[in-house]
A and B are shown apart, each in its own frame.
Chain A
Amino acid sequence: MRAEYDDRNEKIGYKIREAQMEKVPYMLVVGDREAEEGKVSVRFRKEGDIGTMTLEDFITRITEEIVSKRLP
């Protein structure tokens, strides 16, 4: 999977906006709560926040989308 990590010391809102400008399909937002629960908070382009899930569930979802070459 082609992934990038934005670890800059910037506000989360700023990082999200920038990823949106770059038209990246998925964003995984990780704060204290997510780290503690072993989950990731997922944002999906137009739909925005689609909730928290385990990394494994996210990988299943995106893999299915990639393999089927689903169109937006």
Chain B
Amino acid sequence: MKITLPDQSVKEYAGSATPRQVAREISEGLANAAVAAKVNGRLVDLDHTLTEDASLAIITKRDEEYVSVLRHTASHVMAQAVLRLYPNTKLAIGPFIENGFYYDFDFESPVTMADAAKIEAEMAKIAAEKLPLTRFLLPRDKALEEMRDQPYKQELIRDLPEGEEISFYTQGEFTDLCAGPHLASTAEVKHFKILSVTGAYWRGNEKNKMLTRLYATAFTKKQELDDYLLQLEEAKKRDHNKLGRELELFTTSDVIGQGLPILLPKGARVVQLLQRFVEDEEQKRGWLLTKTPFMAKSDLYKISGHWDHYKDGMFVLGDEEKDDEVYALRPMTCPFQYQAYLNRPRSYRDLPLRYNETSTLFRNEASGEMHGLIRVRQFTISEGHLMCRPDQLEDEFRRCLDLCMFMLKTIGLQDDVSYRFSQWDPNDRAKYIGTEEQWDEAQGMMKRILDHLEIPYKIGIGEAAFYGPKLDIQIKNVHGKEDTLITIQIDQMLAEQFNMEYTDKDGTKKRPYIIHRTSIGCYERTLALLIEKYAGAFPTWLAPVQVKVLNITDRTDKTCSEIMEKLQ
């Protein structure tokens, strides 16, 4: 077995080894400072058994990974504190996450943020007790016995491969099922804070019981914690879901429903300005506006594949078993614009044919996903579908990307985005239409284009649309949660499904390539991001009210009225 260290030096072992052993061989000092190890990029315990070739890094307090280990241990300290205060609580899971950690609990009686201070005080006690953390392994039957009072843990144990030794960590009276790694002592968990209490379904499945999730964070230094808490306060002030309501840009109504925001006059004004700007710019760039229906018979979605691949995400009108015809609200515009393409025979001279539409779409997202203007069930988006010949594809893709970049630059978001090349997952064929060859071809082509344009992208496996790969332009909201703002997709499958063709120069019938694209993201989401970016103070061209005239005294009332007339 070969173990490659960060400096690329290689250590060879005849049998197995542990990171602790490797660290000791490097130096006694390193072994003493070590808190965890990273094997092939994954954090593991120092006593993790290495049996195969791997890359290995020893993590000490100086490494940035240290804080993740600290947070993981802090999650155990929080669970221990919870059990001391509420002994009949059932424990679910408690991982570290970016910027913090959480633990999901099934409490006997509700726990809220009002209880946070009490839990924090108990955590401080546990830290002061300087309890050592020790790891031990048990076979499955003993592991189930160990967790006899913890049904969620037992469920997790049963899911682990049979015959595998199961890892536990103990600190004082508290034991948790856990793969680790952890710090050696609770003493290091000094600077922490419980941030919020929310609901979370067991295993993220809404059919399961709703548990209580305590979000918290921990840092190595007090200053770092204070800075982070201040940053969170600032983010809260910018949160569009709060500020957007205060500024009367939007509201929601229980009787209308979740994920269905109401744009108030000021918010509607901003969206109207954005839409006019986008439609004008798209017209300048050769896009032809269509207006297509908001709903269609199931027949259309059966051809497009949405009925088989996306039905759960659609609002279906009618009952398939009883009614002759069933309709569904549209979740995207593509199949509608394809019908426009099919309106008459097309020749190679008609291409590229660029259709755009300011399109209202409906998607039945899970209710737990709803968030202000960012996660909604009805939204309006500047969609476009472009039919072209193979020789036009790269240039047209570039022009679509250029359109998106122009939009982002105009609204000032161009430096806040990152790129994701979303590909299919060949091991999950049922999710997609088309053959392996078609996917390889479409993805290969997209890769060449992106590399040629020097787009710095990350690859997302399994994130493609069911009909083709995507370039997703991603953006984070004030809370650091990432969403897709803009997407550009290459598709050769749907032209086939819809039997779209054109007559080429030589008289033969060919399938066009299709590019699906948005240009500014859905307007609700873009409005949300602009609220957060500018803390509500929009660029003057977008401000719902640009000028306010204020009189100091009634004597200037007439002058002010004249000024108003000239301004308007």
Residues of A within 8 A of B535 (CB): 23
Chain B residue nearest to A72 in the complex (CB) = B539
Q: Are B554 and A9 closer than 8 Å at their CB atoms?
A: yes
Question: Which of A34, A35, A59, A69 sits near B539, CB closer than 8 Å?
Answer: A69
Q: How far is the CA of A26 from the CA of B545 in the complex (A)?
A: 9
B269 CB–A CB distance under 8 Å? yes
Residues of B within 8 A of A16 (CB): 550
Question: Which of B247, B548, B551 sits near A3, CB closer than 8 Å?
Answer: B548
Residues of B within 8 A of A34 (CB): 556, 559
Q: Are A72 and B534 closer than 8 Å at their CB atoms?
A: yes
Q: Are B543 and A7 closer than 8 Å at their CB atoms?
A: no
B284 CB–A CB distance under 8 Å? no
Residues of B within 8 A of A53 (CB): none
Q: A29-B552, A30-B552 are in contact. Are A66 and B541 (CB under 8 A)?
A: yes
Rounded to whole Å, the gap between the CB of B535 and the closest CB of chain A is 8
Identify which of residues 509-568 in chain B touch chain A, using a CB-to-CB cut-off of 8 Å: 534-541, 543-557, 559-561, 563-564, 566-568
Identify which of residues 1-35 in chain A touch chain B, using a CB-to-CB cut-off of 8 Å: 1-7, 9, 12, 15-16, 19, 22-32, 34-35
Residues of A within 8 A of B554 (CB): 9
Q: A6-B548, A30-B549, A62-B547 are in contact. Are A23 and B537 (CB under 8 A)?
A: yes
Q: How far is the CA of A70 from the CA of B411 in the complex (A)?
A: 9
B410 CB–A CB distance under 8 Å? yes
Q: Are A25 and B543 closer than 8 Å at their CB atoms?
A: yes
Q: Are A12 and B550 closer than 8 Å at their CB atoms?
A: yes
Chain B residue nearest to A29 in the complex (CB) = B550
Q: Are A1 and B546 closer than 8 Å at their CB atoms?
A: yes
Residues of B within 8 A of A12 (CB): 550, 552
Rounded to whole Å, the gap between the CB of B281 and the closest CB of chain A is 11
Q: Are B550 and A30 closer than 8 Å at their CB atoms?
A: yes
Residues of B within 8 A of A27 (CB): 547-550
Rounded to whole Å, the gap between the CB of A3 and the closest CB of chain B is 4
Q: How far is the CA of A70 from the CA of B34 in the complex (A)?
A: 53
**What 0/1 readout, one digit per residue, does chain B (203-247) give for beta carbons within 8 Å of chain A?**
000000000000000000000000000000000000000000001
Q: Are A22 and B247 closer than 8 Å at their CB atoms?
A: yes
A50 CB–B CB distance under 8 Å? no
Q: A3-B567, A66-B540 are in contact. Are A22 and B556 (CB under 8 A)?
A: no
A-B contact count (CB 8 A): 126
Q: A35-B559, A62-B540, A66-B540 are in contact. Are A2 and B550 (CB under 8 A)?
A: no
Q: How far is the CA of A69 from the CA of B556 in the complex (A)?
A: 32
Q: Are A28 and B537 closer than 8 Å at their CB atoms?
A: no
Q: How far is the CA of A69 from the CA of B555 in the complex (A)?
A: 36
Residues of B within 8 A of A71 (CB): 412, 539
Q: Are A26 and B548 closer than 8 Å at their CB atoms?
A: yes
Rounded to whole Å, the gap between the CB of B552 and the closest CB of chain A is 4
Q: Are B546 and A26 closer than 8 Å at their CB atoms?
A: yes
Rounded to whole Å, the gap between the CB of B275 and the closest CB of chain A is 15
Q: How far is the CA of A60 from the CA of B277 in the complex (A)?
A: 21
Q: A26-B540, A59-B566, A70-B539 are in contact. Are A1 and B549 (CB under 8 A)?
A: no
Residues of B within 8 A of A23 (CB): 247, 535-538, 543
Residues of A within 8 A of B564 (CB): 3, 5
Q: Are B551 and A30 closer than 8 Å at their CB atoms?
A: yes
Rounded to whole Å, the gap between the CB of A37 and the closest CB of chain B is 11
Q: How far is the CA of A7 from the CA of B534 in the complex (A)?
A: 28
Residues of A within 8 A of B546 (CB): 1-3, 24-26, 62, 66
Question: Which of B536, B539, B547 sits near A2, CB closer than 8 Å?
Answer: B547
Chain A residue nearest to B568 in the complex (CB) = A3
Q: Are A25 and B540 closer than 8 Å at their CB atoms?
A: yes
Given contacts A26-B540, A62-B547, A71-B412, 16 further A-B contacts (CB under 8 A): A2-B547, A3-B546, A3-B548, A3-B549, A3-B564, A4-B549, A5-B551, A28-B549, A28-B550, A30-B549, A30-B556, A32-B555, A40-B563, A45-B537, A71-B539, A72-B539
Chain B interfacial positions (CB closer than 8 Å to A): 247, 269, 277, 410, 412, 534-541, 543-557, 559-561, 563-564, 566-568
Instruction: Give 25 pairs: A residue, B residue, CB < 8 Å, sorted on A.
Output: A1-B547, A2-B543, A2-B544, A2-B546, A3-B547, A4-B548, A5-B561, A5-B564, A9-B554, A16-B550, A23-B247, A24-B545, A25-B540, A25-B546, A26-B548, A27-B549, A30-B556, A30-B563, A35-B555, A55-B563, A55-B566, A59-B567, A66-B546, A69-B539, A72-B539
List the 7 shortest-distance A-B pairs measured between CB atoms, nearest first: A31-B552, A3-B567, A23-B537, A3-B547, A35-B559, A71-B412, A23-B536
